[in-house]
Amino acid sequence: MKYRFYLKLIAILALIFALLVAKSFISGLVSERQYFRQQAYNAIEQSWPGEQTVAAPLLVLPYKLIYNRVETITDTSSQKVVSVVKEVVDYEKLIISPSQLTINTEVKHDIRYRGIYGIPVYSSHIRLNGEFNSQAILDESQKYKDKTIQWGTPILTLAVQDQRGINSPGELKWQDQTLPFQPSAGLKDLEQGMHVKLPMPSTAEATKLVFSFELDLFGMKALKFAPLAQNAEIKASADWPHPSFIGTILPVSHDIQAQGFQATWRSSSFSFNTETIIADCETSSCANLLSASVGFELVQPVDIYQQAERCVKYAELFIVLTFTALILFELLKKLRIHPVQYTLVGMALLMFYLLLIAWSEQVAFKYAYGIGASACTLLLTCYFGAILKSVKLGLLLGVSLAVLYAVLYVILQSENNALLMGSLLTFALLSVLMLTTRHFDWYALTRQNEAIDDFDDDVKSERSC
């Protein structure tokens, strides 16, 4: 039948399109498994503290501002406008950030499981020390020298993102006193945390108010600090070797090793616009106290679903290359490969991704990749040898497929250069194909293939007669 080869080629193209549709279902499976993992994360978060942000300790001094105000009113009986003096009481608060602040934290991780999903959590031991300058109290009194200020009970407050994580609050060492902490930060729009009531500092002269305390804090995924101080230094160490440094500024120094990492941040009031944030907290809301922060995330080094998703993107390349090789052998060796056989080969290529996803949830990604690639390569090598009627050709295609899987694994491991390496691989394969077939007489090959098909049809018809 004339044009039989071209009709077959159209059928193969339609098959490739159908396989790409099937590949989209595999991509959907990856998204579904990612959703299940997020559900596991949310379930663990319900019974374990979530991401933590620790604000700098703040000195909060509430006060009453008492003064007289002259108001004009209309006497209802005489209808005369008269002036009266009223005593006015305004309730204000003064918030002072530390002039010096040092934070040291040591973090130890653990893995909590929900089903097959493991989520890293941590316990941290935090040491904070620093000092406040009481000059701000004198300045506030001087600002309202024509009014009466009655100072309330000052508190030192520490805001955290998730109060459930405060395991051992310790005690505050304030000047020469030791004071216990109480739950709640006591700030507007920011209740999570703890506080301690303090004796009123001297309003006669400026002094340095020295403090220190320790805190055990649980959390998961990330630990950040909001160092709202004139000068702050944060030192963090953890036994997790895969940190991702996040926040407004990066650490000035860090050391990452297989046993864990160490990092140091330094900041000033200019780094986070401290005065504006404190002023907003005094007059309106304190919700922004935790917004300007620095810290780190405990990143899982191999995100199996992200790796699988990237791997699936190369399915088109594997399918097209394999089918192209089969078409070439079909033309050159004058073979006949049925579309059903092409379909089975395509299904075997897609099975690799299902095996990869399933096994990577049980073992390390590299082992899952090896299992999936080995299984599909062995299966296809045997099948190629059968349909091509040549063990050598089957081994040749099998080895080529194994090399492609190996190159793809290298590309997956080199995330930063993946696009470049993938582009070079595609260009190299296209170059090999073009150079290998540059002298082919495609018209002659297709005519020979059609002639063989016609001869086979004639033989079959004669036998039937």
Following DSSP, what letter does each residue of 216-273 receive, concatenated? Answer: EEEEESEEEEE--SSEEEEEEEES-S-EEEEESS--SEEEEETTEEEEEEEEEHHHHT
Of 187-191, 312-316, 430-434, which gets the smallest average pLDDT?
430-434
Per-residue pLDDT at 448 = 58
d(CA 465, CA 449): 25
Question: For the segment 342-380, what is each residue's pLDDT rounded down to a tens digit?
Answer: 899 999 999 999 999 999 888 888 899 999 999 999 999
Q: What is the pLDDT of residue 98?
A: 94
User: CA triplet 388, 426, 366: central angle to 5 degrees?
Assistant: 80
Which positions ≥6 away from 283 have C-beta within 8 Å? none
Q: If you count them, how many residues does the chain have?
A: 465
The pLDDT value recorded for residue 124 is 95
Q: What backbone torsions phi and psi does residue 329 show, to the nearest 5 degrees? A: -65, -35
pLDDT of 168 over the 60 cut: yes
96-107 pLDDT, tens digit each? 999 999 999 999
The alpha carbon of residue 338 and the mean position of all alpha carbons in its chain are separated, in whole angstroms, by: 47
CA distance 360 to 355: 8
**Strand-strand pairing, 231-238 and 100-114:** parallel
In tens, the pLDDT along 47-60 reads 889 899 999 999 99
**388, 394 contact by CB (below 8 A):** yes
Q: Is the pLDDT of residue 225 over 90?
A: yes
What pLDDT was estimated at residue 458?
47
Q: Please provide the average confidence, as pLDDT, over all residues in the chain.
A: 85
In single-letter form, the type of residue at position 88 comes to V
Q: Among residues 157, 121, 142, 132, which one has the least CA distance to residue 46?
A: 121
Please compute the mean of the pLDDT values over residues 19-29 and round it to a whole number. Answer: 89
C-alpha distances in Å from residue 27, one per residue of 1, 24, 33, 322, 353: 40, 5, 10, 21, 9
Instruction: Spell out the domain ranges in the chain.
Output: 4-39+304-464, 52-298
Contact 350, 22 (CB under 8 A): yes
